[in-house]
Amino acid sequence: MATFHRLILLTLVMLPLGGCASLVSSAATGLADNLSVAILNQDDPETVRAGAPSYMLLLDSFIEGSPEDPALLAAGASLYASYGAVFADDEERASKLTTRARSYGLKALCVSYEKSCEWHSQSYEMFAASLPGIPDKHADLVYAYGVATLAYLRAHSSDWDSLAFLPQVEALFNRYLEMAGGDAEGTVHTYMGILLTLRPPALGGKPEEARGHFEKAIAMTDGRDLSAKVEFARGYAKLLYDRELHDRLLNEVLASDPYADRLTLSNVIAQRDAEVLLAEAEDYF
């Protein structure tokens, strides 16, 4: 908590009364970025569980002051999506947090690309037709909105109306990969793998295509992103009842060093998940 208090004081220093709005926005965005990195490098998930809500409220306050700042909105979308997907205590709370994440993500795009403002109410055909027009400079906003939407859909997986939006998210991530090119985040391939295994093949799932994405995510980080292996085991290996692949991936996760820049938190959580999945494997397979 002392660290948080120092951050608040730092914020007050960076946001002088009567200062230029653009400077305020830049300072807030920089702090939001630093907070995100600090959280990602934390090795104690319970510290993040307890402390992140304060950072979320801090971001909310920044957004209240600059409600059309795309970078702040995208940061809010990412943090709310991550917390809602990983730390929410129950379905109702996960629903509320990921709904806010999705709202922030769409607003970030809406203020930057007008055609996105009606995405939630458009048909797939209209949505897909608008994607090529997004300028490549907005790739990060597309990524943030995609992550927030996927978190939202996972939190609402029992709602078939929500799952009907899965093709849009797939198209959105594919557009992000086109826009970002060689600078694409490796984690987007993990998200694509998750997306393509949320449904069984008979209902539109694409497990072999998902496998390619999981393998690419692992390769892009030289195996340092342990969550990619866990999701590969959880989404693909369990779906196809491949016990050998399932156990191999999870044992590799447990044998790995979790400390890696911006991956430490997710790696520690991945190792916890791997232990649970292995313990449950005998009953599943």
State how far the Cα of 51 lies from the Cα of 222, in Å rounded to an integer: 31
Residue 40, domain member (yes or no): yes
Q: What is the DSSP string of 125-182?
A: HHHHHHGGGS-GGGHHHHHHHHHHHHHHHHHTTT-HHHHTTHHHHHHHHHHHHHHHGG
In a domain, 139, yes or no: yes
Residue 32: the pLDDT is 60
In a domain, 88, yes or no: yes
How many distinct structural domains can be found in the chain?
1
The pLDDT tens digits along the chain (285 residues) read 333 233 222 222 333 333 333 444 566 666 666 777 788 888 998 998 998 898 889 889 989 988 999 988 988 888 888 888 888 888 899 999 999 999 999 999 999 999 999 998 899 999 999 999 999 999 999 998 998 998 898 888 777 777 778 889 999 999 999 999 888 888 889 989 988 987 788 878 899 999 999 999 999 999 999 999 999 999 999 999 999 999 999 999 999 999 998 889 999 999 999 999 999 999 999
CA–CA dist 157, 127 (Å, integer): 21
Closest CA relative to residue 217, chosen from 253, 256, 191: 191
120 occurs within a structural domain: yes
In Å, what is the CA distance from 237 to each residue of 19, 215, 226, 240? 55, 13, 15, 5
Smallest Cα–Cα separation from 148: which of 136, 124, 165? 165
194, 236 in Cβ contact below 8 A? no
Residue 252 near residue 208 (C-beta atoms within 8 A): no
pLDDT of residue 86: 84
Residue pair 155/119 in contact (Cβ under 8 Å)? The answer is no
Inside any domain, residue 202: no
Domain-embedded: residue 198:
no
Could you write out the DSSP letters of every residue in 4-69?
Answer: HHHHHHHHHHHS-TT--HHHHHHHHHHHHHHHHHHHHT-S-HHHHHHHHHHHHHHHHHHHHHSTT-
Residue recorded with tokens 């934390």: 42
For the chain, counts of helices (H) and of strands (E): 14, 0
Backbone Cα Rg of the chain: 19
Q: Which domain holds residue 138?
A: 26-185
CATH of the domain at 81: 1.25.40.920
68-81 burial code (b ≥16 CB/10 A, e <16): ebbbbbbbbbbbbb
Give the C-alpha separation, 226 to 212, whole Å. 16
| Interatomic CA distance for residues 56 and 37, integer angstroms | 14
Does 255 reside within a domain?
no
Question: Is there a contact between 142 and 106 (Cβ–Cβ < 8 Å)?
Answer: no
- 31 occurs within a structural domain: yes
Tokens coding 255 = 């044998």
